[in-house]
Structure 1
Amino acid sequence: MPVFLFALAISGNLSETRIILVFIILHVLIYPASNAYNSYFDKDKGSIGLLRKPPPVSIGLYYTSIIFDFLGIALAWIISMEFAVLVFIYGLASKAYSHPGIRLKKRPWAGWFVAGFFQGLFTFFMTYVGINDFSLEISLSWKVIFPGLLTSLFLWGSYPMTQVYQHEEDSERGDKTLSIVLGIKGTFIFTLIVFLLATLSFEYYFITYHSKEIAVAFLLFMLPTVLFFMIWFFRVNRNEEKANFSWTMGLNFLSAICLNAFFIYFFLKSSHLLQLNM
């Protein structure tokens, strides 16, 4: 959702119908389809996502993911052929992560890059194309690609943290995630470095293309997440067992709240809706 809101905030051709339709296509159909498809092939027994004890998967989950994908692409076609093609490509990329024939989850660096690219820049671009009735030439401009790259950079930093508590189960399946390669403490250090780089890049973007007020607001909104991360890192340094499901979901939940809150604020400021209401 933060990627959607970020793309919405820089959109210059807003249509309520397209905004709602794109949101439904991505968040109600395509993302759940991706989760269901990957869950079917992963067959997780331990905690995953927001589920501490996931239920056993069945073939029904697989067919549900295909139906949701089909509905998402069909609705996307109503908006434009270009948007539908992008939704289709995203679906293929998400399936490659867990499908046994490809299973990017076994390839630590390739899986990390593809996940960050498609959930970041590609999703940002896809959302922008869906929301705005612009030509691809305008959508491929630097003013769209640059913030899209920032979302990928942020995800490349945070993605290994989502794997940090699953080392045992991933290893049992033969998967080799980037977090396993880095180790528990290495995952925290890697995330800290990339997150710092991403924050500096976001600050440059907001100051250069928007205002210092937005740049300061970004830091303030992200402060709770940073404090949570540092407290967690301190505890993991003393006891690696603290790299567990509860702390990981806590970080994910807090980060999502802070990012969504900031990008809603950014959208209201950039679209001048607050001034219009006043």
Structure 2
Amino acid sequence: MPVFLFALGLTPNLNGGRLLLVFLALHLFLYPSSNGYNSYFDKDEESIGGLKHPPKITSDLYWLSHGFLLVSLVLGMMISWTFASMLLTYALVSMAYSHPAIRIKKYPWASWFIAGFFQGYFTFSIAYAGLSDLGWDVLIKPHIAIPGLLTSLMLWGNYPLTQVYQHREDSRRGDHTLSILLGIKGTFMFSALLFVVTGAAFAWFFLDRNQESVLWIYLAAMAPIVLFFLIWFRFVISNSEKYASYSWAMGMNGISALALNAFFIYYFLENTQILQVFEY
């Protein structure tokens, strides 16, 4: 959602119909399709994102994920064939992430890079293309590439943290994730470094656009995320087995989602000057 909202805030050609179609195609159908498909092949028995006690996987989930993908593509074609093809590309990469024939997930650095790139840069480009009715060339336009890379930086920093409580489950399946490679404490140090780089990159972006006031709002939004991360890291240092847990990881996800969505909603309203309209 923050990636979509960021693209929305920077899109100069807003159209209500396209906005609704892009939102529905991505959030109600493409993402659930990807999530369901990956869950089918992962067959998690321990806690996963959003589910502390995941139910037993059946073939219904496999076919439902394909049905959701089909709906997403139909919605995409209502904008353009190009937009639909971008949705399909995202879906195919997501399938390769978990399908046993390829299973990108078992390669630590490749899975980290591909997940962050496609959920960040590529998703930002998809959203921008759909909102503005543009084509594949959005991927190489500098005014799209720079904010797209910023979203990937956010995800590259957070991605390993989503794996810290799944070491046993991932190892059982033979998935050598980046968090397993780095170790629990190494994962936190790696993410901390990426968070610093991400914060500096966003600061440069807003200052380059003469949006100093926006930068201060951004830093205020990031403060609870950083505070939670530091507290969590402190507990992990004292007892990694106890605190590198599902509940703490979901707490981090929840605070990040609230803070980032709130900020990018504000940025959309501010950058499109909708707030100024209400002021007058």
TM-score by structure 1 length?
Answer: 0.98
Verify: 1:133 aligned to 2:141, yes or no.
Answer: no
Q: CA deviation at 1:140?
A: 3.6
- Mapped partners of 2:37, 2:233: distance in 1: 32
Q: Map of 1:178-197 to 2, 5 A cutoff?
A: 178-197=178-197
Tell me whether 1:268 sits opposite 2:259 in the alignment.
no
SS of match in other structure, 2:52:
coil
Distance 1:73 1:171, change over 3 A: same
Q: Do residues 222 (structure 1) and 222 (structure 2) align?
A: yes
Q: Cα distance, 1:235 vs. partner?
A: 0.5
Q: CA deviation at 1:166?
A: 0.2
Percent identity among equivalent residues? 51
Q: Where do 4+ consecutive residues of structure 1 move more than 2 Å?
A: 133-140
Structure 2 match to 1:118: 118
Distance 2:138 2:160 in 1: 33
Counterpart code for 1:129: A
Once residues 119 and 101 of structure 2 are traced to their aligned partners in structure 1, the CA distance between those partners, rounded to angstroms, is 21
- Name the CA shift for 1:127/1:156 in 2 (closer, same or farther; >3 Å): same
> Aligned residue for 1:109?
109
* Contact 2:185-2:237 within 8 A present in 1 as well: yes
Letter in 1 for 2:15: S
Equivalent residue, structure 2, for 1:251: 252
> Do residues 37 (structure 1) and 34 (structure 2) align?
no
Structure 1 unmatched ranges of 5 or more: none
Q: Distance in 1 between matches of 2:87 and 2:212?
A: 35
| Offset of residue 130 of structure 1 | 0.3
Q: Is the 1:128–1:139 Cα contact (8 Å) retained in structure 2?
A: no
Q: CA deviation at 1:10?
A: 0.3
What is the number of equivalent residue pairs in this alignment?
Answer: 278
State the distance in 1 between where 2:28 and 2:174 align.
Answer: 31
Is residue 214–residue 266 contact of structure 1 (8 Å, CA) maintained in 2? yes
Which residue number in structure 2 is paired with residue 67 of structure 1? 67
Q: Secondary structure at the match of 1:56?
A: coil
Paired residue for 1:165? 165
RMSD of the TM alignment (CA)? Answer: 1.0
SS in 2 for 1:52: coil
Q: Equivalent residue for 1:213?
A: 213
In 1, Cα distance between equivalents of 2:246 and 2:210: 38
- How many Å apart are 1:137 and its aligned residue? 4.6
CA shift digits 1:45-84 (9 cap, x unpaired): 0000110000001000000001111110111011011110
Cα distance in 2 for partners of 1:57, 1:133 equals 38
